[in-house]
Structure 1
Amino acid sequence: MHKIFIIFITTFLLITLVDCTSRKGESHSVVEVVDFGNVQTCKSSELIRVERFLPLETSDRCLFGSIDQLEVWKDRIYLLDTYKTNAVLVFSATDGKFIHKIEGTGNGPGEFLSPHSFWIDRSDGSLYILDRMMSKLLKYDLESLDYEEEIKLPDLAPLAFCVPTEGDYLYYFPLRKNDLFCGKQYVEADKEGNVLSTAYDALASGKILHGNAAPFYSYGGKIRFCPYFSNCIYEWMNDSLKVCREMKWGNRTLPEIAVFEKSEDSGDVMREILSSDYIRFLYVYENRAALAVKYYVQKDLYLSVYNKSSGQVANVKAAAVQDDLGLGGLFPMPVGTDEDLLVGSLSLLDMEEKIISPELKACLKQADEEGNPVLVFYNLK
């Protein structure tokens, strides 16, 4: 990376006591600290190396409005769109052709109205969809996408979920006045909704519903997640919870707990956060090669990246990244991962400059300017 924005990562080992309990008690862990540093300016070519472009098919049956969540597994791409279709759409990871979609149609068996997030259980070939509004968790066969069964929740409307082991489910709940879990936000339950263990003492920030709908992800066979308004990544293993990574951003921070304690009104709290220079709304993408974090400060979108091989980091404002790769003036902000690659997205409709990249030009012959986006698979420099 270019010397004007490279900051060598501050990585050191700290022995910490994680402030949480589980069925097996307190958990000690070794924490890696990643300081992304203060915001820098840079060019696209100093951040990423593009491996390939993939235009997603556009037709009346598969036109979508947003990518709220994206997962790549084997030869398929699964993405959630809550803006236009309220569906999980499936495309070929090879040529971008549309395969199938599961869309909200009602409240009957196997139906949902408002999908919040999904999870792919790679161990048994299942796809789960959470409808938070209807408090439903539905299971589908990953290959055929046929409905199989409904999983009973331990309480209404969890913020997020994952499937750590076959037959067990892990949920992330908001802090509520009539709390069933004694102030714990992470609840492990079986398919009948019976609570097996709890973890993570809720802070005052736990009452604010403002964060990534899919904060859980699989990494190295373990489950990892980043709670709302937290700079820590936790790992769930053997029914216990531990911090495995702490993130810093130079002189910029997330809101202090005192901000959340000032008022019981969520609107007042969010107005203060939105009017200040606090970091909020984190999206964490991690694989063996990289860690990437999207976040907002007021109304501006930022990106922090950490190249695990070189130990180099960067922290940039998305709109300020200079496009010297000829991508129409845009930067492909990450929306998911594919093995050791990050996956970004480019909307042709949003492009402000002429496309120069020969590879992107070639793939645009298959794309519709007002249709679905082009996915960009890339490495960090």
Structure 2
Amino acid sequence: MNTYLVVLFILFFSCGSENDLKEEKLKPVIVLVPEETEVKSLQIDKIVPLETKDKSVFGQFYKVVLSDSGIYILDHIFTNNLYHFNENGNFITKLHIGKGPGEVIDTYSMYFDREAKQVYVYDGGSEVIKLFDDQLEYLRTLPINNEIAYHQGL
């Protein structure tokens, strides 16, 4: 996959009839910009509107990762969750919040391993790292070294 800068816009309004304007909704949009693009001459490769359902609405993105598996958006601020969309912006899934196996309390940070196609999530609530596959299916919990600040390095 080519290297892109990702710009996430939340101010993309849908157009419609006068009746539709009463229910005007914000629509998040991912804009893919080649990393080598200069600010003076912005070249947009693709605009991907994100599907908005009750389950897929996030408050503020903290980190966005593009991969062959899709788009991952970490909302550490409002929902404390990690969302997964496909390359067309269709919502696939999000992590389960809770204290059970495969659930997270506070999705503080994440790292996507492109070679292994695995997602490492630092759960700040239980202070562990949980490993998921690229579809956010739980694999296992990893031991941590308390001398490393995982939330900064992931």
TM (normalized to structure 2)? 0.66
Q: Hey, what's the Cα distance between the residues in 2 that align with 1:159 and 1:118?
A: 9
| Aligned-residue offset at 1:120 | 1.4
State the Cα deviation string for residues 232-274 of structure 1 (Å, max 9, x = none).
xxxxxxxxxxxxxxxxxxxxxxxxxxxxxxxxxxxxxxxxxxx
User: 114, 119, 137: which one pairs with 2:129?
Assistant: 137
Q: Which residue of 1 aligns with 2:24?
A: none
Highest Rg: 1 or 2? 1
CA, structure 1 residues 87+157, in 2 after alignment: closer, same or farther (shift >3 Å)?
Answer: farther
| Aligned-residue offset at 1:146 | 1.7
Q: Hey, what's the Cα distance between the residues in 2 that align with 1:125 and 1:45?
A: 31
Do 1:71 and 1:77's aligned partners in 2 also have CA atoms closer than 8 Å? yes
State the Cα deviation string for residues 260-305 of structure 1 (Å, max 9, x = none).
xxxxxxxxxxxxxxxxxxxxxxxxxxxxxxxxxxxxxxxxxxxxxx
Q: Which residue of 1 aligns with 2:137?
A: 146
User: 53, 57, 61: which one pairs with 1:67?
Assistant: 61
Q: Show the 5 A alignment for 1:56-135.
A: 56-93=50-87, 95-105=88-98, 107-135=99-127
Quote the RMSD (CA, aligned, Å). 2.3
After the TM superposition, list the runs of 4 or more consecutive aligned residues in structure 1 that deviate by more than 6 angstroms.
none
| Residue ranges of structure 2 left out of the alignment (5+ in a row) | 1-37
Instruction: Give the length in aligned residue pairs.
Output: 117
| Aligned-residue offset at 1:157 | 7.3
Does 2:46 correspond to 1:52?
Answer: yes
SS in 2 for 1:90: strand
Quote the sequence identity (%).
Answer: 26
Q: Hey, what's the Cα distance between the residues in 1 that align with 2:82 and 2:108?
A: 10
SS in 2 for 1:137: strand
State the Cα deviation string for residues 149-183 of structure 1 (Å, max 9, x = none).
110111177243xxxxxxxxxxxxxxxxxxxxxxx
* Bigger relative contact order, structure 1 or 2 (CA pairs below 8 A, ≥6 apart): 1
Q: Hey, what's the Cα distance between the residues in 2 that align with 1:103 and 1:65?
A: 16
State the Cα deviation string for residues 320-339 of structure 1 (Å, max 9, x = none).
xxxxxxxxxxxxxxxxxxxx
Q: Show the 5 A alignment for 1:220-299.
A: none
Q: Hey, what's the Cα distance between the residues in 1 that align with 2:82 and 2:105?
A: 12
Which amino acid is the alignment partner of residue 77 of structure 2? Y
Which amino acid is the alignment partner of residue 62 of structure 2? D
Which amino acid is the alignment partner of residue 81 of structure 1? D
SS in 1 for 2:94: strand
Do 2:76 and 2:109's aligned partners in 1 also have CA atoms closer than 8 Å? no
CA, structure 1 residues 152+75, in 2 after alignment: closer, same or farther (shift >3 Å)?
Answer: closer
SS in 2 for 1:77: strand
Do 1:85 and 1:103's aligned partners in 2 also have CA atoms closer than 8 Å? no
| Aligned-residue offset at 1:75 | 4.4
| Residue ranges of structure 1 left out of the alignment (5+ in a row) | 1-43, 161-212, 217-381
State the Cα deviation string for residues 339-369 of structure 1 (Å, max 9, x = none).
xxxxxxxxxxxxxxxxxxxxxxxxxxxxxxx
CA, structure 1 residues 136+75, in 2 after alignment: closer, same or farther (shift >3 Å)?
Answer: closer
Which amino acid is the alignment partner of residue 100 of structure 1? T
| Aligned-residue offset at 1:47 | 4.6
